[in-house]
Amino acid sequence: MDTVKKKTTRRYWRRTAKRKPLWPWGIAPLAGLGILFLFGALFIAPRIEAEVRDQVSQRIDAAGLPAMDVRSDGQGVTINTLAQAEQEIHIQALAASTRCDTWAGQLACPTSVEVRRIESQARPAVLRSRPHQFTVEKINYGVRLSGEVPNLEEHDRILGVAGQHFDDITDALTISNESAGAHFGQAADRALAVASHLKSGRASWSGETLNVDGSADAGAIADIEAQYAALGNESLKGEFNVRSLFDSQRCAADFDQILFNSSIRFQSGSASIDSGNDELLDRLTELARSCPGKLIVQGHTDSHGDADQNQALSLARAAAVRDALVARGIEEDRVAAAGYGESQPIADNSTSAGRAKNRRIVIAVEEMN
């Protein structure tokens, strides 16, 4: 019996899932990140850059180092500077260690620092021009330089010229770093040349004119006038007053004339010179510079009071006048003081007018051997 074979067909059913639409909130996280990025780029990043730039600039400025321009890109810093090569290291270190305020406290904020040194191609600054005063004062065998000079080069040049004329130089000049005008150097040279022939006195450049006041040996007057004339431009010449040294008798007469018309006033019963005598003392000093010989400052009193006390007071007052002349530049070894008290009256002590005349200072002149 034949066996009938049955063919069995198996069917497999595959279930196909239907594609679901993409929901809008599926991209919400990405959109949120985008918004945060834009917010940071537009608002937070510029603030961070500005803070990094400002903090670095302030730190470099506080150290006194030159930085022309500080730029920041994020937290990276670029510094353009005119500093010398050896200063670059300090600028680099200061910038890299700059700290900024963060939510975690103060932290180093630049992530990178680049220092670029550039060469200055700027034109030299034009100095402001104004008149400068300059004085050469002859003191004993030396000279004192005072006033202003425009720059260090001119200062050194003037000292070099002064060294050709004088062995003893007192430098009291100040450097202005400003232009002194076209005639300053010429006037300074003439002032030094003129002063080199003076016995005493000064040559002064006012900024516009050269003025000379002093005394000299009779044989030197012509040389001084020639040095002064070498200025050439008449508009640069001011007052020229150089006196010839004359004999002791004429000096004594001139001292008498000055002290006859004006008397040195003292505080009552004291050797303290009253204020207001400066102009008179200056006139006596100028005359003393022109006189040869030794000066004897003599003090006299009226007869009121004890004779010994009057003699001591007259000496103290004479010494005060001597000290005032020395303080104004008269050589100390040329001036002496003497007190005569009431012993040499020139008027009647019984009247107030007479006593006023007897209270006096006299300056005598003696030839020096």
pLDDT over 90, % of the chain: 37
Interatomic CA distance for residues 210 and 207, integer angstroms: 8
Q: How far is CA 199 from CA 196, 227, 229, 283, 325, in A?
A: 8, 15, 19, 17, 17
Q: Is the pLDDT of residue 188 over 90?
A: yes
Interatomic CA distance for residues 279 and 262, integer angstroms: 10
pLDDT of res. 140: 64
Q: Is the pLDDT of residue 212 over 90?
A: yes
| Nearest Cα residue to 300 out of 317, 284, 321 | 317
Residue 80 pLDDT class (50, 70, 90 cuts): confident
pLDDT of res. 221: 86
Residue type, 349: N
Tokens representing 189 are: 């040279």
Mean pLDDT of the chain: 80
pLDDT digits (tens, 9 = 90+) for 234-282: 889 999 988 877 667 778 888 988 998 888 999 888 899 988 899 999 9
Q: What is the largest CA-CA distance in the chain?
A: 195
pLDDT of res. 4: 52
* Average pLDDT over every residue of 74-84: 72
Q: Is the pLDDT of residue 355 over 80?
A: yes
pLDDT digits (tens, 9 = 90+) for 141-183: 688 999 999 999 999 999 999 999 888 899 999 999 999 888 9
- Bridge partners, 241 (sequence order): 213
> Of the ranges 2-16, 51-65, 155-169, which is most confident?
155-169
pLDDT of res. 41: 44
pLDDT of res. 152: 93
201 versus 110: the higher-pLDDT residue is: 201
Work out whether strand 134-139 and strand 69-73 pair parallel, antiparallel, or are unpaired: unpaired
pLDDT of res. 45: 53
Interatomic CA distance for residues 340 and 358, integer angstroms: 11
238 versus 106: the higher-pLDDT residue is: 238
Contacts of 163 (CB under 8 A, 6+ apart): 169
pLDDT of res. 40: 45
* Average pLDDT over every residue of 5-15: 55
pLDDT of res. 20: 53
Residue 303 pLDDT class (50, 70, 90 cuts): very high
Interatomic CA distance for residues 104 and 253, integer angstroms: 92
pLDDT of res. 44: 53
% helix, strand, coil for the chain, step of 5: 40, 25, 35
- 81-95, 162-176, 230-244, 280-294: segment of lowest average pLDDT: 81-95
Residue type, 216: A
pLDDT digits (tens, 9 = 90+) for 21-46: 555 555 555 555 555 545 444 445 56
Interatomic CA distance for residues 137 and 201, integer angstroms: 6
pLDDT of res. 93: 79
- 8-17, 66-75, 201-210, 298-307: segment of lowest average pLDDT: 8-17
Residue 361 pLDDT class (50, 70, 90 cuts): very high
157 versus 292: the higher-pLDDT residue is: 157
N residues, the chain: 369
